[in-house]
Amino acid sequence: MSTNAQGLNSLATIIKRLEAATSRLEDIALAQNSATNVKQALDAPSGHPPPAPRAPPPPSAHTPVAPAEVSQSVKVFDELVIAGKLEPFLKVAGEIGGPVKEQSDLVGNLFRNLRNLIHCAAVSTKPSDATFMSMLGPLQSEITAVNDIKDKYRKEREFGNHFSALSEGVPAVGWVTVSPKPAPYVGEMRDSATFYVNRVLKDFKDKDQKHIDWARGFLALLDELKKYVTEYHTTGLAWNPKGGDATQFKGASVTSATGAPPPPPPPPPAGAPPPPPPAAAPAPSAAPDPSAVFAQINQGADITKGLRKVNKEEMTHKNPALRASGTVPTASGPGPRRPSKPVKPAALQTKKPPKMELSGNKWSIENYENDSAVVVENTELSHVVNIFNCKNTTIQVRGKINGVVLCNISVVNCKKTSVLIESLVASLSITSSPSFTVQITGITPTIQVDNSDSGQIYLSKECLGVEIITAKCSAINVSIPVEGEEDGVFVERAVPEMLRTTVQNGKLVTNIVEHNAYYQQPQVGSDGRYLGVETVTPLNEPWVGGFQAQAQGQMPYAQLQGRVPIPPYSSQTGYPEPSSHPPTWIPEIKIPGGTYADYSPYPGQSPHYGPPMSAVERASMSGGSPRMDPHLQMMCGPLLRYDTVDDHGVWHGAAMVVTADAGSQYDPHPMLHLEWDPLRPVHATVAGHQRGRSISSMPSPISAVSSSTSGIPPPVPYPSTPVITSQSYPPSHAYQQTDAPGHEIWVYRGPSGSFTFWRFLIQIPLGPNEMGVRYRLNMGQELEFFVPGLNQNMRWAAHSCNGFSAGINPDDFRGPGHASGYDPLWKDLLDKHAQRPFHALVGGGDQLYCDAMMREPELQGFLGLKTPKEKISAPLTDEIALALDRFYFSHYCLEFRRGMFAKANSSIPMVNMLDDHDLIDGFGSYPDDLQSSPVFKTIGSRGYFFFLLFQCFTVDEVDGINPSPGMHTFKSTIIGGDGPWIPAPGHNILTYLGPQTRMLLLDCRAERKKDLVCSQTTYDRVFWHLHQLPQQVKHVIIQLGIPIAYPRMNFLETVLESKFNPFTALAQNGSLGLSNFVNKFNKDPELLDDLNDHWTAKSHKRERNWFIEQVQAFSKARRIRVTFLSGDVHCAAVGYFKTLARGGGKAPAIDPLGDHRYMLNVVTSAIVNTPPPAAVLKTVGMLADRPHKTMHYCDTDESMIPLFRTDTDGTSLKQPYIMGKRNYTSVELDEQTGHLNFDIRIERAKGVGETVGYLVQAPPPCWV
């Protein structure tokens, strides 16, 4: 068997060698033939007659097509686009003349070629893709010619915006290649051109009307083109299925390769001799005999006899140039001429010429090799640089626009290429480019590296906030500048490459290898259910409210018989504690808005575990020995909420605690004891909460716990010795005390037991001066809050964004003396409270960040679904429903008892309104199909329920949803319209902040859709209540989660929404490691939901303008100054509206005191979260002073106040509009001047716990 195999192998080898030899012999023979023919041609005598001309070819079988009839779509194009818009545009361009006319005429040629293509499509069948692309040649050449004008007249600065407008807009004719929706593409190109058209309008506003008409004419042309495409080419360029061949279309402006043959050559000149007859064909040679070939091969060793030795210079394997030649020349004589080496077509040449060009807003740098001086200059903010196929090249990108160079840079298929960049607005991406080097001398938010090894990235000191994303890479090193050293001193850090993949529910789940053992695999409880990523345990008693118990020096209490009894309910003075079921009601006052939805969207108890029982039964069944009299096993609280002050001067509020049923004694029910003394002095130097000691200086039980990194918090030990002492104040004759009974409003049943929410309604008659109210839960630890005097306007503090975004290390913001990065600004706020107590703490949204919900084990299967369609149709399982409640409960307990914030919410009554992170990032601003999906809708529903529960102490099943005034438990609540995704109405708040001040907290999340912020029902009810305010009210603050007067980011919104956005496509495919660029729900860009959230987003602009007009009308009619208060954007700023000064700004501006349209928008954010990257701040700052004409139609102008001319260290700032540091705001009415003072407290330096104030004032209303 082995012998046969070897024989077959040898035979196969012989056959292959024979075939190779035969092929070689044929090549040599052909080469000799070619050389002989060339030699004969060169040796031919000069008088030899020329060869006979070829006979003309026969006529083509194709006959010319008669001119086609003009279809209706072409007639409409001629009438509306060509005659209606193009010709007037060209007429105005002719009047302007010069380069503008030259470029405009090219636009005219472009549209006429487009008309020919449309005509061809109307009478022809759709050709092949290759043929169609060849038919686009005229369009492409005209677009190039339009762009060339911009480069040709680059020095004509006066017309630079004209050239750019046409260059940005003419690609709109490319709609012929777009399907199935070409019209939006035309709109996008129109938007791109609008930027430069607006510049033309601004530059020539008062100079030359012809340029104004020219600019508007071009936009009108594109608008008409979009309308035409929408109507006649809805899904793409319309071809005629019954038409003829497109290449034979008569009058078409393109010539196909398959067209008619060339005309015959001209006849010979007269008198010339006739051409000779063609030579006779040579006789065919006899076919070679194969036997002769084999006989020659079988000569054996004699076959090489007579061959000379081949020198090295003649060996083809050592001399590639000889391989294409025919025979090797003999030692003597020139030998036959070598045939020339065949030349590859230019398109197939390996080495292409280097190229650098700017097309529209895209730079292309290609094919540079061994060049160290490639420089890109004259860049603009909207430019994109693409670098391809460069080797051993150094490229420097320079910019001249306030240090911001470009939107984006891409490096693809380069080798040993170095790129030096100043700053970027968006990102730098590097793909398939080994041995690269990148140096950032300015700032950039993101660097993405894909399929590239051995890379070096050098960062500047301003670029340390960059996000570096790698995929399929190795040996990527980042050089970080050393703090305190001179420029050029770096320390190198390697980018991690280790990933860990596990199988969960049949799917692969991959994470970066971390040293945190808690997250390496989900924890499972004794019942086999997951424990979740956050686990909350009970608090030890001494740490109730975040304060250590007071062991001595407590204020003496009067006898029980001396207490003031709880006043009976009356419709004028108070309200009863509601029963466990919502009361029936009939609207007594007809409010605009019409119908009311009377339903109860939430269950009274958590349905996940066990049958319903009373609180006493749950406590006795859970076991554990009580330690209080009666003892409560605290999970969270006490939390304080401020409601309002009624017409009789009674302060209304509430306290709430969450207790673990295991270890708690509920018989009798919990009781809150309160006492106050109107004659007890409130000293400016006395600590507000624990007498004799600064609130912020006392330890907190959760100060060392970070739920996002440590998992299960450690137990908190009892203190060994008391740490608080204070002076005793004997009660005066005005001393009062009362007890507020606790009422069970909800029960959470989770994997670790059941937990009860107890609410205590509080009523305090106000005295002539502000006073402290001390309270104790079940006669335990004493705590204190402050209420204003009867005729005093409140001091209050406002904050937002009380948490860190995913990926932020809190310790980076922890300065000396602080337990965590959460505490520094809360410590400063509490110090200010100790000096002059705050009466209310206004939460403007994002009081906690619930985005960590996405780490819950039960949600990984849902998040692992690949397409948005799968997520939309995914069912809501019992496991997911359980996980959502478990997360919200645990997360709220941990966050609201954390560090300094726990001290604040138990000593300053809260007034809270939600934003998206209180539910989940971006909720309400995603597409409708995703918002209405079972899982996503439940996330919003349960998130809203827990917001009402923990932050407003409200349960709709208990408190009802009657929108009639005074019917809700909390009198400040205004029930809004029904939510489209959340099965509950919105909950707005209109509260008392003093005799002259009110605050409206507008719920902008419950009803939010991508194209809606609040419903008409909500607006009608809110404005009805505003118009009922007393005459003495002079200031109304409207709290909105998102700023309403803030720099626009519409250009970025347009880019991210575009289906041509390359980063979205790459991220959806998992390329470049860009999974974080898109959200986990529908693969839209992560930033897009934030942009869609803004009032200035395209989908909300009309509603925004209407709302501002309504507020202006209210302000004027009621003679009330309105000020907006917002958060969300992680920086401080102040925008404003005012009456427009007509006459091109030459008319005198109206004094703000007498201007009812003068409304500030104070933006205070964030008290905890990190500021935006420096590049984003710089971009927003650049956009801050740009004029906005959106509301000029109603005589309203808007801009930003340059409040921040100096930094917190006293140095000057280049842009004074945006302050990118953590902050909160202290607010107080100046009783002498009537100004409402907003003191924006900016963190002096990261983590130090000290702030610097920047004051802005809302003037009193002084118009008639």
996 CB-side CA count, 13 A: 20
Burial 842-862 (b: 16+ CB within 10 A, else e): bbbbbbbbbbbbbbbbbbbbb
pLDDT score recorded for residue 545: 52
The pair of structure tokens assigned to 234 is: 């809805």
The neighbouring-strand residues paired with 447 are: 428, 468
The string of pLDDT tens digits covering residues 618-635 is 655 555 444 557 889 999
User: Who has greater pLDDT, 1195 or 486?
Assistant: 1195
Q: 1120: which residues sit within 8 A by CB, 6+ positions away?
A: 1029, 1033, 1034, 1035, 1036, 1114, 1261
Split at pLDDT 50, 70, 90, the class of 135 is confident
pLDDT score recorded for residue 465: 82
Distance CA 939, CA 923 (A): 9
- Least confident range from 409-413, 755-759, 957-961: namely 409-413
Q: Is the pLDDT of residue 1076 over 90?
A: no
Do the Cβ atoms of 1169 and 805 come closer than 8 Å? yes
For the chain, the C-alpha Rg in angstroms (whole number) is: 40
pLDDT score recorded for residue 266: 47
What's the whole-number mean pLDDT along residues 504-516? 64
Split at pLDDT 50, 70, 90, the class of 1184 is confident
The neighbouring-strand residues paired with 820 are: none
User: Who has greater pLDDT, 1023 or 353?
Assistant: 1023
Q: Is the pLDDT of residue 272 over 50?
A: no
The string of pLDDT tens digits covering residues 54-102 is 444 444 434 344 445 678 889 899 989 999 999 999 999 999 998 899 9
Split at pLDDT 50, 70, 90, the class of 837 is very high
Mean pLDDT of the chain: 76
Q: Is the pLDDT of residue 348 over 60?
A: no
User: Who has greater pLDDT, 1173 or 1059?
Assistant: 1173
pLDDT score recorded for residue 774: 95
1126 CB-side CA count, 13 A: 25
Q: Which of 822, 842, 877 is nearest to 704 (CA)?
A: 822
The pair of structure tokens assigned to 507 is: 């799917």
The neighbouring-strand residues paired with 741 are: 671
The pair of structure tokens assigned to 621 is: 């069944």
Split at pLDDT 50, 70, 90, the class of 667 is confident
pLDDT score recorded for residue 104: 92
Distance CA 982, CA 944 (A): 7
Orientation angle between helical segments 160-169 and 209-232, nearest 10 degrees: 0
- Least confident range from 216-220, 749-753, 1031-1035: namely 749-753
Do the Cβ atoms of 1018 and 989 come closer than 8 Å? no
Q: Is the pLDDT of residue 688 over 60?
A: no
Do the Cβ atoms of 1092 and 1049 come closer than 8 Å? no
Three-state secondary structure string covering 171-234: HHHHHHHCCCCHHHHHHHHHHHHHHHHHHHHHHCCCCCHHHHHHHHHHHHHHHHHHHHHHHHCC
Q: Is the pLDDT of residue 45 over 60?
A: no
pLDDT score recorded for residue 406: 40
What's the whole-number mean pLDDT along residues 1052-1076? 41
Q: Is the pLDDT of residue 15 over 80?
A: no
Split at pLDDT 50, 70, 90, the class of 1092 is low
Do the Cβ atoms of 697 and 724 come closer than 8 Å? no
Q: Is the pLDDT of residue 764 over 80?
A: yes
Q: State the amino acid at position 33 in one-letter form.
A: N
Helix or strand (DSSP H, E) at 643: strand 633-645
Do the Cβ atoms of 600 and 956 come closer than 8 Å? yes
- Least confident range from 219-223, 714-718, 804-808, 1169-1173: namely 714-718
The dihedral through the CA atoms of 1020, 1021, 1025, 1028 has a sign that is: positive
Q: State the amino acid at position 767 in one-letter form.
A: G
- Domains with residue ranges and CATH for the chain: 72-248 (1.25.40.330), 351-497 (2.160.20.70), 530-718+738-791+836-964 (no CATH), 1051-1093 (no CATH)
User: Who has greater pLDDT, 924 or 1085?
Assistant: 924
Which CA distances in Å does 804 have to 511, 1166, 1170? 21, 10, 7
- Least confident range from 23-37, 312-326, 494-508, 746-760: namely 23-37
Q: 1217: which residues sit within 8 A by CB, 6+ positions away?
A: 1047, 1133, 1180, 1181, 1184, 1185, 1200, 1201, 1202, 1203, 1204
- How is residue 545 annotated by DSSP? G
Do the Cβ atoms of 420 and 440 come closer than 8 Å? no
Q: What is the largest CA-CA distance in the chain?
A: 143
pLDDT score recorded for residue 164: 86
Helix or strand (DSSP H, E) at 1222: none
Written as one string, the DSSP assignment of 883-947 is HHHHHHHHHHHHHHTSHHHHHHHTTS-EEE---GGGTSTTTTSS-HHHHTSHHHHHHHHHHHHHH
User: Who has greater pLDDT, 382 or 707?
Assistant: 382
Split at pLDDT 50, 70, 90, the class of 788 is very high
Global pTM?
0.57
pLDDT score recorded for residue 1169: 92
The pairing of beta strand 753-765 with beta strand 743-750: antiparallel
Q: Is the pLDDT of residue 279 over 80?
A: no
pLDDT score recorded for residue 919: 87
The neighbouring-strand residues paired with 472 are: none
What's the whole-number mean pLDDT along residues 461-470? 85
- Residues counted in the chain: 1264
In what order do the strands lie in the sheet containing 415-421? 374-379, 391-399, 415-421, 437-440, 453-458, 474-481, 490-494
Distance CA 1198, CA 1185 (A): 10
Distance CA 117, CA 138 (A): 10
- Least confident range from 131-140, 256-265, 442-451: namely 256-265
Q: Is the pLDDT of residue 950 over 90?
A: yes
Q: 377: which residues sit within 8 A by CB, 6+ positions away?
A: 398, 400
Do the Cβ atoms of 376 and 398 come closer than 8 Å? yes
Split at pLDDT 50, 70, 90, the class of 493 is confident
Q: Which of 1159, 1139, 1168, 1127 is nearest to 1002 (CA)?
A: 1127
Do the Cβ atoms of 742 and 669 come closer than 8 Å? yes
Q: Is the pLDDT of residue 438 over 80?
A: yes
Which spans in 1119-1173 are helix H? none
The pair of structure tokens assigned to 990 is: 């209109």
pLDDT score recorded for residue 1069: 45
What's the whole-number mean pLDDT along residues 250-258? 42
What's the whole-number mean pLDDT along residues 1241-1263? 94
Q: 769: which residues sit within 8 A by CB, 6+ positions away?
A: 678, 682, 789, 792
- Which range among 273-282, 460-469, 667-676 has the greatest average pLDDT? 667-676
Backbone phi, then psi, for 271, in 5-degree steps?
90, -10
Which CA distances in Å does 623 have to 609, 611, 747, 850, 1199? 17, 17, 18, 32, 63
pLDDT score recorded for residue 1070: 44
